[in-house]
Amino acid sequence: MTHVFTFSTTYAIPNMNAPAQLLKGWSLNSIVTAESATPWSVNDWTTDFSGTGEINNPSGFPGGPNVQGEQWDFFGNAIDFRTTKSLADTVNNGNPGYLNGGGGIPYHGPGDPFFTGTDPCSTHAAALGPLALASLANLGCYVSPNGKSVLIPPAYGSFGTTAPYMFRGPAYVNVDFSVTKVFKFKEHYSAQFRAEFFNIFNHPNLSNPYGGPGGGNAYTDPSGLAGAGFGYQPYTSDVVNSNPVLGSGGPRAMQLGLKILF
């Protein structure tokens, strides 16, 4: 996470004389949090492209000492694979062979009419040789929604070149707000009433995709998932981590509190 911005403010409303202290002791409070996206990665646990038999051995891939698998090849700009909420509305993109499966990055599988020989996947695979075309025909590829970047399986007998944590998930923005009212009783007693709103704008913050911090405990397997959930997870982080109390991104919540001071 490269950038974190937190702004906390309290505004004490000026007191005015009124019966029963109705216009005294009011304050408004807010905390605004904005965080840049966290990274995610792909790690193929299914296909032993290199032929080394090491796919089931820990690789030391970032994210834990026991992560296994091999990489694919990426061509283009990693920003094109960035997770956005607009992917939630991606359904087939109006073309045959585009699978949604809960995700948003178009997936092209074997037998897809997308493979024309001049498409981005075939073009990059052809440059790597016939064994890359063979892996492409068997496993398909992923294409960014704008069609400019592709993720293709490596040629059989080689290692993929995808860098760890090269893709980015959704950013995080949250606003909490509270209103407080203090009533004074004599000189040494007071009561503070609070109305607190968490995620007051009811803004959904999607979890990081699988393959990154906060995105679950497994890496995205591009050949095993066949498009389902690739690069997109339609859940908020509190649901993914099974912790609606301490998690973030849940729907608006409100609580009332009363504190007696003496």
User: Exposure string (b/e) for 122-149, b if CB count within 10 Å is 16 or more?
Assistant: bebbeebeeebbebbeebbbbbbbeeeb
The model's pTM: 0.76
pLDDT band at 77 (very low <50, low <70, confident <90, very high): very high
Torsion of CA 240, 243, 248, 254, to 10 degrees: 130
Amino acid at 145: P
DSSP bridge partners of 8: 31
Average model confidence (pLDDT) across the chain: 81
Number of H helices, E strands in the chain: 4, 11
Can you read off the two tokens belonging to residue 36?
């840049």
pLDDT (tens digit per residue) in 30-76: 999 999 988 888 888 888 999 888 887 765 444 444 556 888 999 99
pLDDT (tens digit per residue) in 193-221: 999 999 999 988 888 887 777 776 566 77
Torsion of CA 202, 203, 204, 205, to 10 degrees: -130
